[in-house]
Structure formats: C-alpha cells, structure tokens
Amino acid sequence: MGMMTSQEYKESLKSLKPVVYHFGKQLKSIFDDPVIEPHINAAAETYNIAFLPETEKLATAVSHLTGEKINRYTHIHQNVDDLIKKVKMLRVLGQRTGTCFQRCVGLDGLNALYTTTFEMDKKLDTNYHKKFLEYLKYIQNKDLMVAGSMTDPKGDRSKRPSEQVDKDLFLHVVEKKDDGIIVRGAKMHQTGIVNSHEILVMPTQALQKGDEEFAVSFAIPVDTKGVIHIFGRQSNDLRKVENGEIDVGNKKYGIVGGEALTVFDNVFIPWERVFMCGEVDFASMLVYLFATYHRQNYGGCKTGLSDVLIGATLLAAEYNGVNTASHIKDKLAEMIHLTETLYSASVACSAEGYCLSSGAYFPDPLLANVSKHNITRFIYEIFRISHDIAGGYIATMPSEKDLCCDEIKGYIEKYLKGVENVPAEFRIRVGRLIENMTGGTAQVEAMHGAGSPQAQRIMYLRESNLKLKKKLAKIIAGIEEK
C-alpha cells in the first residue's frame, strides 16, 4: 500500500469500528463527535508533511527491512541523523498544529520493542524478534498509526502488581491457550488511541519474580473484541459541540492528544502478535528504552508549540499596544531563551546517541531525561510569561455567542478593542488561542507525559556516573587512598 496521505488516513479510520464512549454514550463513529475530530486532524498532519517538499526529508525514511520509503513514524532509527531528524520533525509538527499529534508514543514503542525482543531472543532463544519484525513490516507497508499503551491504573502504588487486591489494575494474562493468550486490565491516558489503527501494549514498570502474568507485550487492532475506549474530558471541551469557532481557540487541531481510558475485558491475542509473555527480567529494559526515546521528544514537540505561543503572545502585546515596551521585549526574550534551551537538550541527546546491539540507535539517556525534566519546569514559566504579557482578559472574555448577538455585539466590539487598527475579534481570537494552549490539560500533560519529574531525577542518579565524578575530584584534590 505504501505511505498514506492525510486524506487516506482519515478514510482508513472509517473501516474500523472501535467501541468508544464519550459523555456517557457509545459513539456510532468517531467522526460523529466534534470533540474527537480535531485530534484526527492533528494526527493527519503526520501523514501530510511526508508529502510536502519542505518537510518530506524530515518526515520520511528508508526502511532497513524492505528498502522502501516509509513514514518516519514507522521507522527504526538507524543512525544519529535519524534521531536528530525525529526531533526536528516534532518541532515542525508542533508549529503546524499547536497541539499534540499523537503518533510519538507508538513510534517510541516500536523502537523500544525492536531492541528488547532482539535481546530476549539472543538470551532466551525465543522467537519474539522474528514475530515483531513481521509486525513492523506490516505497519510500515500500510503506514498505520500505532497507539503505544504503557501506563496502567496501578491501584495501590505501595504494592507490586502481584500484590494488588484487584489484579486488573495492572493489565495481565489471565489464560494461555494453544492459539494465543487472554488478557484483562486497562491502560490509562492513551493518547490518540481512538483514532489509531493499532494498539501496542507494553508493561508499565520494572517487574520481578512473581509478576510474570504482568510481563506482557502485544499488538492488536483498536477495534478488537473486548477493547473499550472511554474518551477523557478536556479543558473547555463542551465549546467544541457549540458549532462555534473562536471560543475553541484551536478549532482545527484541538488541545493535547485526545486521551482515553482503554479497557481490555478478556481480550484474545494470537501468539503471532505476542512479543513478551512472562519474561519479567526484560520488562525493565523495555520500560527504560521506551522512556528514554519518549523523553527525547519533548524538547521537539513542546518547542514547536512554544513557537506558536510566543507568536500569539507577541500578537496580544501588539493588540494591547505594549509590544514596544522594554519589559515586554525582555519577557519575550526570556520565552525564546527557555524554548531554545528545551530544544537544545533534545538535539543534544540525539547527537550523542549511539548504536545498540540490535542495530537500532538510542539517544543519550541522561540528556534525554534532562530534556523532559526541563519541560516540567520551563513550560510552566513560558505559560506564566504569556499570561503576564497578554493580560487578564484571556480568562474573562464573553463567549463567541455574545459576539454574534445583535443586542450586545457593539458593546463587545467597543470594550474588548485594543489598538485602533485591530478589530476586537482579532484580540479575542488570539486570547482564546493562548487560553487553549496554556490551560489545565496542557499543563498536566507537560508535567506527567513520559513520566513525572521524580522519574527523571531517579535516572539522573543512575546515568550520571557519580563514581567517575568522585574520582575526578579526588585526583584534583590530591586525595590518595591507601
């Protein structure tokens, strides 16, 4: 089939019949829901840029398996250039959509499983890698969107999976059969899953002896029998059903990634789609590889979004008539400084990447964690400065319906106007965009996506080679231990 266009991607979804609930009702089709439509549009951009002359080299690659040209979102990184192009591609997509475009988790899951299955086969003489390669070629040849599924509900965080009173709080194998396995449980915060083609499931954490039933990885279509998607609420999501445009802020592409709670109610997985089943010793490797790949991303996608936000903030300053003030220029400069600092960390971890035994390339894990950890701090500061410059009106504006009401329209146009030559509507539009991009859902995703700050701090201690640092200090200090 080859690479899909954005329109072909949208058409391909119509053949799938996932069970999706939203606002307490099962949807006949995801295309019937105006809340989901923007997320489809955002994901479609990952297909669109593969055909644009100015972005084609970033968004495509050559498959090392087939030699065919493929979408980069189905590619296994083969060199440092691949890692850097990935980050650059994410920034471009952020600039084009102003939101999450959802395919990153699946890409990172494919790369993590590529190496993990390779290592399992080498050590355990299994056939997981062979099966995974067949699956990967299937994904590449059809250019499918894969939803990476890692995060379990976890229940009581003080207990391991096997210690939970309700074991379903970690997705697990409940039965092994001749032709496959039966699994039960759920995955939380599933970005873009309702408008994906496939689900790629991975363990959520390191496991140990006794946790074998939770050490499971597999891939299935999103509409597999027994899979139920419950679409999550987002900030101001009811505005999308009002048939308006301005109040939504980013009507075409929406806010964040359209997350869902995905339930697996005794779902059958054929053995050819199972890539881990009981190998607890390799769960930590898979989580480690995935987390590093995914943390590499954030200085790419979030800086693309920040580019849009900086532009919106500058517009707000111009419409307010304060853009030439020295303190405004200074704050804009700080937004730029923070944005480029975030980007530099993602580029650095990519440039310092190296080849794994599987042949796949891997970003520097310490720098990848630095990249994500900076996001959890700098994005909040970028948002704060944007709010500071734009002003309080972004939180208190009348609705779009009021702007269309003949009786009061004139008041809004009069009193929400800034500088003389800019209509009030323009000022309202840019205010709504800032509100959309800096609201609650966006902030929480920046903090907890790819792991909370504490997860990165743990990795700092593991990856920073403290023994070497002590040795360097002793040498310079002249400390010779006997």
Which domain CATH number covers 461?
1.20.140.10
Structural domains of the chain, count: 2
pLDDT at 242: 87
pLDDT in tens, 391-439: 999 999 999 999 999 999 999 999 999 999 999 999 999 999 999 999 8
Cα 51 from Cα 69, distance rounded (Å): 12
9 tagged catalytic: no
294 tagged catalytic: yes
In a domain, 142, yes or no: yes
Cα 464 from Cα 459, distance rounded (Å): 8
Longest CA–CA span in the chain (Å) reads 89
Which residue is catalytic, options 129, 229, 301, 318? 301
Together in a domain, 28 and 144: yes
Which residue is catalytic, options 119, 198, 259, 279? 259
Together in a domain, 325 and 459: yes
Q: Which of 280, 308, 331 is the last residue of a domain?
A: 280
In a domain, 481, yes or no: no
In a domain, 95, yes or no: yes
pLDDT in tens, 217-255: 999 999 999 999 999 998 888 888 888 899 999 999 988
Q: State the burial class of residue 137 (Cβ atoms within 10 Å of its Cβ: 0-12, 13-18, 19+).
A: middle
Distances (CA, A) of 388 to 235, 302, 340, 420, 434: 21, 20, 20, 22, 11
Together in a domain, 167 and 101: yes
pLDDT at 422: 97
Q: Which of 247, 280, 313 is the last residue of a domain?
A: 280
pLDDT at 1: 64
In a domain, 480, yes or no: no
pLDDT in tens, 358-378: 999 999 999 999 999 999 999
pLDDT at 237: 85
In a domain, 479, yes or no: no
Together in a domain, 66 and 159: yes
DSSP assignment of 178-211 equals SSEEEEEEEE-S-TTGGG-SEEEE--SS---TT-
**Residues in Cβ contact with 448 at an 8 Å cutoff, skipping those fewer than 6 apart:** 189
pLDDT band of 142, cuts 50, 70, 90? very high
Together in a domain, 67 and 102: yes
pLDDT at 462: 86
Which residue is catalytic, options 191, 204, 303, 441? 191
Together in a domain, 175 and 294: no
277 tagged catalytic: no
Which sign, positive or negative, has the C-alpha torsion 173, 175, 181, 182? negative
In a domain, 355, yes or no: yes
Q: Which of 263, 280, 297 is the last residue of a domain?
A: 280
C-beta separation of 353 from 361 below 8 A? yes
Together in a domain, 202 and 315: no
Together in a domain, 83 and 201: yes
Together in a domain, 325 and 456: yes
Which residue is catalytic, options 45, 99, 100, 435? 100
Residue 472 or residue 199, greater confidence: 199
Residue 119 tokens, joined:
């290592």
**In the predicted structure, residue 136 carries a pLDDT above the cut 70:** yes
Which residue is catalytic, options 104, 117, 119, 229? 104
Domain holding 183, by residue range, is 6-280
Cα 346 from Cα 343, distance rounded (Å): 5
Cα 263 from Cα 230, distance rounded (Å): 8
Cα 72 from Cα 76, distance rounded (Å): 8
Q: How many CB atoms lie within 10 A of CB 401?
A: 12
In a domain, 126, yes or no: yes
265-286 mean pLDDT:
98
In a domain, 1, yes or no: no
Q: For the chain, first and last CA: distance in Å?
A: 68
- Mean pLDDT, the chain, rounded, equals 95
The structure tokens 């959509």 sit at 97
191 tagged catalytic: yes
pLDDT band of 193, cuts 50, 70, 90? very high
Together in a domain, 12 and 48: yes
pTM value > 0.75: yes
Find the CATH number of the domain harbouring 108: 2.40.110.10
Strands (E), 19-59: 19-22, 25-26
Together in a domain, 315 and 373: yes
Cα 414 from Cα 428, distance rounded (Å): 12
Cα 183 from Cα 459, distance rounded (Å): 31
Together in a domain, 126 and 38: yes
Which residue is catalytic, options 45, 212, 400, 445? 445
453-472 mean pLDDT:
88
Pairing state between β 198-201 and 146-149: parallel
